[in-house]
Amino acid sequence: MQTQLADFIKDTPEGREAEAILRACVHCGFCTATCPTYQLLGDELDGPRGRIYLIKQLLEGHDVTEKTRLHLDRCLTCRSCESTCPSGVHYSRLADIGRHIIEQRVPRSGAEAAKRWALREFVPRADVFGIAMKAGRAVRGLLPAALKEKVPDARPSGPWPKPRHARRMIALAGCAQPAMAPSINAATARVLDAVGVSLVEQPGAGCCGAVRFHLNDQEGGRDDARRNIDAWWPAVERGEVEAIVMTASGCGVQVKDYGHLLAQDPAYAEKAARISAMTRDVSEIVAAEGEKLQELLRTRRGEAVAVAFQSPCTLQHGQQIRGVVESLLTTAGFTLTPVRDGHLCCGSAGTYSLLQPELSKQLRANKLAALGEGGATMIASANIGCMTHLQAGTTTPVRHWVELVDSRLNGFPL
Ligand code: SF4
Ligand code: SF4
């Protein structure tokens, strides 16, 4: 696509990156068919090709309005379009650049600005989020429906094995997950302990930065990344840990991108690239220990459970990890049911479910219908945001897949 970027952006790193992405797009429209918002709204401007065109206009200095911003707001950043695109167009990076600029050109006001400010300020703070979650559980019945569904029931997390192996890895605790489902990292620690790896959480690390970054506080998101790097770096530098393990695929896609996000920061560029290179989704770690896992599970088969796996967009499109979790669940003796349109987003998408509730609910209803078609009695996922969002719309239990493997391996109840 031919572009003539405006002076304000053309000689900047963002401008050069945006121009390369725009040039790669041949306008074929293959991506449109797999875009969830295009499928729901039927408007070219609510699909990837239309949004690319809108961002091109923005970067060329043309007038943009609240309508332009709305079409970009409706994008889930699910990256289904990237998986489909035959030309390798890195849409999500272009969207980040476009959103950052439109936020300045068409600023928000009133309730919309206040809502985004509150999400940016409170969600990434694990301590504040933890207190809010406890308070929310205490007064759950009094909360408005939109908030009530963000407060999952508390479940016991079980023991965290003491570090006893020479092989060590760091787990990201994150911001929302420790308060919503501490059982996920504890189950991961038990599964990894069983295959000979001790998992530790490093004090000082917190939110991966995705919340603030995707609410257009991009510098705030980078600060979160720097704080995590500072917390992890001493153990990494001393060679004490093999990997940084992500149990939420939404965080994984962000941390794997630290190298790119901090590439212009001379103090952090090298460290960020190393951290990204050693970051793995927990499924990649467990799959690498597949033989040990298989051996351990040989004598620990439980009752047959039919499971539908919802592969989060951040896992299958963001990290391009497909089929790995499905294979691990099969190894653990679960029966996987087929899931129609598995490439489509469930509507959670970080804070999207709070900012675009109507579209989010439609996508959830569609996803739950698809997940239920094979008769599953359990839904598995790989991201806390998707889990909470889906659970609010169904009585079928929704669990992280690693909790299912842990239940087979260690007998911990689901
Ligand atoms: S599929 Fe790729 S090249 Fe074709 S319109 Fe979409 S982004 Fe552009
Ligand atoms: S990221 Fe998802 S919602 Fe956004 S344009 Fe691409 S496919 Fe559509």
Q: Which of 52, 71, 76 to mutate to test the pocket of ligand 2 (most atoms within 8 A of CB)?
A: 76
Counting from 1 in the atom list of ligand 1, the atom nearest the Cα of 30 is 1
Identical fold for domains 7-105 and 155-285, yes or no, is: no
pLDDT of residue 152: 77
Atom of ligand 2 nearest to the CA of 51: 5
Give CA–CA dist 314/79, Å, rounded. Answer: 8
Query: What is the best residue among 21, 75, 85, 363 to mutate for testing ligand 2's pocket, by most ligand atoms within 8 Å of CB?
Result: 75
Which spans in 25-109 are helix H?
Answer: 36-41, 48-59, 66-73, 80-84, 91-105
3-class state of residue 66 by DSSP: helix
Token pair listed for 113: 């600005």
Q: 155-285: which CATH topology?
A: Rossmann fold (3.40.50)
Q: What is the pLDDT of residue 3?
A: 87
pLDDT at 413: 78
- Which residues have any ligand 1 atom within 6 Å of their CB? 25-31, 48-49, 81, 84-85, 87, 89, 91
300 within 8 A of 409, measured Cβ to Cβ: yes
> Residues 119-163: pLDDT tens digits?
998 888 878 777 888 888 888 777 777 777 778 787 888 999 999
Task: Please report the atom of ligand 2 found closest to the CA of residue 79.
Answer: 1
Residue 226 Cα to ligand 1 middle (Å)? 33
CA neighbor of 66 nearest in space, from 115, 105, 111, 92:
105
Q: Which of 1, 28, 32, 82 best tests ligand 1's pocket when mutated (most atoms within 8 Å of CB)?
A: 28
Residue with tokens 């065109």: 53
Helix count (H) and strand count (E) of the chain?
25, 8
How far is the centre of ligand 2, averaged over its atoms, from the C-alpha of 236 (Å)?
Answer: 35
H or E stretch covering 119:
helix 110-122
Conformation bin of residue 203: beta by default, left when phi > 0, alpha when psi is -120 to 50: beta
Q: Whose CA is nearest to atom 5 of ligand 2?
A: 48
Which stretch of 104-113, 131-140, 222-231 has the lowest confidence by average pLDDT? 131-140
**Domain ranges across the chain:** 7-105, 155-285, 297-410
* Residue 86 CA, ligand 1 centroid: distance in Å: 7
Amino acid found at 130: G
Residue holding tokens 């690390």?
Answer: 205
Q: Could you report the per-residue pLDDT of 312-357, keeping only the tens digit for each?
A: 999 999 999 999 999 999 999 999 999 999 999 999 999 999 999 9
Classify 205 as helix, strand or coil.
coil
Residue nearest to atom 7 of ligand 2 (CA): 35
- Does residue 231 contact residue 205 with C-beta atoms inside 8 Å? yes
pLDDT, average across residues 199-217: 94
Residue 258 has pLDDT above 80, yes or no: yes
Q: Among the CATH numbers 3.90.45.10, 3.20.20.80, 1.10.1060.10, 3.40.250.10, which is that of 7-105?
A: 1.10.1060.10
Q: Which fold has domain 297-410?
A: Rossmann fold (3.40.50)
Which atom in ligand 2 lies closest to the alpha carbon of residue 37?
A: 3
Give dist(CA 90, CA 83) in Å, integer.
Answer: 10
Strands, sheet with 168-171, edge to edge from the N-terminal-most edge strand: 198-201, 168-171, 243-246, 279-281
- Strand order across the 398-400 sheet: 335-336, 306-309, 378-381, 398-400
Pairwise CA distance, residues 324 & 269, whole Å: 30
For the residues 219-244, what does the mean pLDDT come to?
Answer: 97
Give the residue-averaged pLDDT of 209-237: 96
